[in-house]
């Protein structure tokens, strides 16, 4: 991640903010911002992983269908 940062304003449920604050108080994160950055990275990583999975699955299914079709022709 580059050193450039952009501020993003978010509204969160009070309970979630309290839980984030407990993580900060417990030393898991240095600040709310650190916790939210970590969470955002997880969301982006998981979305990328899911998209790659779907793409790979689609390609594998296409490949299998093509191989089955070739066997039928032979």
Domain ranges of the chain: 14-73
For the entire predicted model, the pTM comes to 0.66
Check if the beta carbon of residue 17 is closer than 8 Å to that of residue 9.
no
Please give the DSSP secondary-structure letter assigned to residue 57: H
11-21 pLDDT, tens digit per residue, is 999 999 999 99
Q: How far apart are CA 42 and CA 27, in angstroms?
A: 19
pLDDT of residue 2: 57
| Residues recorded for the chain | 74
Q: How far apart are CA 27 and CA 17, in angstroms?
A: 15
Q: How far apart are CA 53 and CA 72, in angstroms?
A: 28
Mean pLDDT of 31-50: 95
pLDDT of residue 73: 67
């Amino acid at each position: 991640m580059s050193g450039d940062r952009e501020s993003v304003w978010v509204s969160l449920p009070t309970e979630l903010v309290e839980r984030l604050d407990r993580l900060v108080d417990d030393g898991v994160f240095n600040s709310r911002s650190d916790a939210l950055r970590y969470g955002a990275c997880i969301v982006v990583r998981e979305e990328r992983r899911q998209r790659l999975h779907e793409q790979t699955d689609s390609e594998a299914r296409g490949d299998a269908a093509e191989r089955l079709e070739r066997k039928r022709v032979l």
